[in-house]
């Protein structure tokens, strides 16, 4: 990885702490200004749409009045009842009824109907009665085609509600009509009399929208199915600010869309100009910072060169102090450090010479234990030749313990530890003339488990000295091990006189980490075992002491299984 020099880091700091905050503030300011402007425009558009929605709602209410008039007026219902079932005009009476129905259109035309609307009645047999003034220019064939398209969407069982069966020719800008229908039934029998249909031309709304299309905005009116009734939509892919409102009585949606560019274009251009100026000044600033940083960095490079010379072996290299500024102060301190390093190197060389002499003495001292082992081995051979196997066995046990003491820092196995304990018990049995027995029960899968050398010997020694030395019954020490779910337990139990409850509680507090007790406790055997246990297996390893099942004391060592896996052979 390439290492950056000090003055490069200074430049990078300038960029991070000056340029980045300026750009960040500029971007945040631009985003906030843009959002505020967009929100204000949205509020203005919403107000315009609400006013226009009221006008459209009024139109819907007027048409609802027309349909309501036909449903409630008894006279028109009687004429429609007389005209029920007619498929054509067969008599003069039929013609008079036909004209009377058309005259009812004239009674409501002043209120709501417009020449841009198509209005016609269809009786139960499908015979069409048009309102000719409103439907001028529309042939009977066109009305029949429109009725065939919308009739399937009209629920004839709903005479009490306004129905919007859909649009006719929605893709034809000049001929798209959205229809409103109202079913008329006989009030007494509930039989179908006729269906009133009012078609509103989409172009009817264009004069309303044309006067308000500013800033490139576009109005559009959609029916409940999402088909466009009037107005225009923005091209696909163009980002627009869309504002809409609902025409509740008809389920329509009135939409006004304005391209984002027409709203935020000036703000964006201002931001871009500001960004160009910031980048330009930043480049100029970086150029000046390079020049200044080089001048500042020159003394540091001199310091660096002196340090490299000293590190390369030139212990006489020193920085030339030429002033009293911070860099020269640092150079003086560096010279003092070099002098101290030279003195330290001389002291280390002297110390290494002393260590070499001590190691020679230590090697010489190792001859003595080997001399003792060789002497004991000679004594054992003499005893065996004299057929004194008992004392020869004692000498053999003593030699095994001596070898273990010489390798106390090396690891051992649990099986080897049990053998060493047997030798130790043999010696203690001879010294104290005790009827002492050692029993151990170690599963085969745990015999090769690695443990510190002489880990269990201090525990057995405590059991003999403090629990079994004055015991009148046959003394027994049991060593057992078992594998549990999360750890392995090793127990050392005796059938001695046991411990007083107060003393037992004191020892347990000692083993569970009471530092005040540990500092004042004179016997170090158990503490030594606990410390070696934790140095080997970690702080999760524990030791506990309790009253034993044999009547004496039991010491329990708990070793985590995860640590055992790392130490097993």
- Per-residue confidence of the chain (569 residues) as pLDDT tens digits? 345 555 566 667 766 777 777 778 778 887 788 788 778 878 888 888 888 888 888 888 888 888 887 888 888 888 888 888 888 888 888 888 888 888 777 666 545 556 667 888 898 888 988 876 555 456 788 888 888 888 888 888 888 888 888 888 765 555 688 888 889 888 788 888 899 888 888 777 777 776 555 556 788 888 888 888 887 777 776 778 888 888 888 888 888 888 877 777 777 777 778 778 877 877 787 777 777 767 766 777 777 777 788 778 787 788 777 777 777 788 788 888 888 888 888 878 776 776 666 555 544 444 445 545 555 666 666 666 666 666 666 777 777 777 777 666 678 888 888 888 888 888 788 777 778 888 889 898 888 888 888 888 888 888 888 777 666 677 888 999 999 888 999 999 988 877 877 777 877 777 776 554 555 444 557 777 888 888 888 888 888 888 877 678 889 999 998 877 544 44
Looking only at the bridges linking them, the beta strands covering 436-441 and 475-483 are: parallel
Task: Give the bridge partners for 168, in sequence order.
Answer: 177
Contacts of 44 (CB under 8 A, 6+ apart): none
**Please, are residues 436 and 396 in contact by the beta-carbon 8 Å criterion?**
no
In angstroms, rounded to a whole number, what is the distance separating the alpha carbons of residues 356 and 566?
Answer: 35
**Please, are residues 149 and 122 in contact by the beta-carbon 8 Å criterion?**
no
Helix or strand holding residue 489 (H, E): strand 487-494
Q: How far is Cα of residue 410 from the mean position of the Cα atoms in its chain? A: 48
What secondary structure, in 3-state letters, does 9-65 show?
Answer: HHHHHHHHHHHHHHHHHHHHHHHHHHHHHHHHHHHHHHHHHHHHHHHHHHHHHHHHH
Residue 62 has a pLDDT of: 82
Instruction: Output the six-digit token pair for 357.
Output: 């002499």
In angstroms, rounded to a whole number, what is the distance separating the alpha carbons of residues 130 and 120?
Answer: 4
For 466, phi then psi, to 5°, come to: -100, -15
Looking only at the bridges linking them, the beta strands covering 192-201 and 117-123 are: antiparallel
**Please, are residues 460 and 478 in contact by the beta-carbon 8 Å criterion?**
no
In angstroms, rounded to a whole number, what is the distance separating the alpha carbons of residues 274 and 50?
Answer: 38
In angstroms, rounded to a whole number, what is the distance separating the alpha carbons of residues 202 and 87?
Answer: 31
Closest Cα to residue 122, out of 212, 184, 68?
184
Helix or strand holding residue 66 (H, E): helix 20-72
Residue 110 has a pLDDT of: 46
The full set of domains in the chain, from first to last, is 1-317 (3.30.450.220), 432-567 (3.30.565.10)
Using alpha carbons only, what angle is made at residue 315 by residues 314 and 319, rounded to the nearest 5 degrees? Answer: 90
């Amino acid at each position: 990885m390439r290492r950056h020099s000090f003055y490069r880091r200074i430049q990078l700091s300038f960029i991070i702490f000056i340029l980045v905050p300026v750009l960040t503030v500029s971007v945040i300011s631009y985003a906030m200004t843009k959002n505020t402007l967009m929100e204000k425009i949205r509020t203005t558009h919403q107000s315009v749409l609400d006013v226009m929605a009221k006008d459209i709602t009024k139109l819907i209410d007027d048409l609802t009045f027309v349909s309501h008039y036909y449903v409630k007026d008894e006279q028109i219902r009687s004429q429609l009842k007389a005209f029920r079932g007619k498929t054509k005009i067969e008599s003069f009476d039929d013609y008079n009824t036909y004209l009377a129905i058309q005259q009812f259109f004239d009674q409501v035309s002043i209120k709501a109907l417009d020449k841009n609307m198509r209005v016609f009645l269809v009786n139960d047999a499908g015979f069409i009665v048009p309102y000719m003034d409103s439907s001028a220019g529309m042939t009977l064939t066109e009305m029949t085609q429109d009725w065939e398209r919308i009739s399937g969407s009209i629920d004839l069982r709903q005479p009490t509600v306004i129905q919007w069966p859909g649009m006719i020719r929605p893709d034809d800008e000049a001929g798209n009509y959205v229809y409103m229908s109202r079913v008329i039934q006989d009030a007494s029998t509930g039989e179908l009399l006729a269906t009133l249909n009012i078609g509103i031309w989409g172009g009817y709304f264009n004069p309303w929208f044309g006067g308000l299309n500013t800033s490139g905005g576009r109005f559009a009116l959609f029916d409940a199915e999402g088909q466009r009734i009037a107005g225009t939509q923005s091209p696909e892919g163009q980002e627009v600010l869309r504002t809409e409102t609902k025409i509740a009585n008809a389920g329509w949606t009135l939409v006004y869309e304005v391209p984002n560019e027409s709203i935020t274009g000036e703000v964006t251009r201002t931001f871009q100009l500001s960004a160009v100026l910031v980048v330009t000044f930043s480049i100029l600033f970086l150029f000046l910072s390079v020049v200044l940083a080089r001048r500042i960095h020159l003394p540091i490079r001199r310091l660096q060169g002196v340090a490299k010379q000293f590190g390369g072996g030139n212990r006489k290299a020193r920085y030339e102090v030429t002033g009293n500024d911070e860099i020269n102060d640092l150079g003086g301190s560096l010279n003092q450090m070099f002098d101290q390093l030279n003195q330290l190197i001389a002291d280390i060389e002297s110390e290494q010479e002393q260590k070499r002499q001590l190691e020679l003495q230590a090697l010489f001292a190792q001859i003595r234990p080997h001399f003792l082992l060789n002497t004991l081995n000679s004594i054992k051979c003499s005893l065996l030749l004299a057929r004194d196997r008992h004392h020869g066995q004692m000498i053999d046990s003593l030699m095994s313990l001596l070898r273990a003491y010489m390798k106390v820092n090396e690891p051992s196995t649990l099986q080897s530890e049990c053998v060493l304990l047997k030798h130790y018990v043999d010696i203690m049995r001879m010294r104290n003339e005790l009827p002492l027995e050692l029993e151990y029960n170690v599963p085969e899968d745990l015999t090769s488990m690695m443990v510190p050398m002489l880990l269990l010997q201090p525990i057995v020694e405590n059991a003999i000295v403090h629990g079994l030395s004055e015991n009148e019954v046959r003394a027994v020490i049991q060593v057992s091990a078992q594998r549990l779910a999360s750890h392995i337990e090793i127990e050392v139990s005796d059938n001695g006189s046991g411990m007083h409850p107060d003393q037992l509680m004191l020892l347990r507090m000692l083993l569970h980490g009471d530092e005040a007790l540990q500092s004042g406790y004179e016997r170090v055997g158990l503490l030594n075992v606990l410390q070696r246990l934790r140095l080997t297996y970690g702080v999760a390893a524990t030791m506990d002491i309790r009253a034993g099942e044999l009547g004496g004391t039991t010491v329990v060592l708990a070793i985590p299984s995860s640590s055992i896996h790392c130490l097993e052979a």
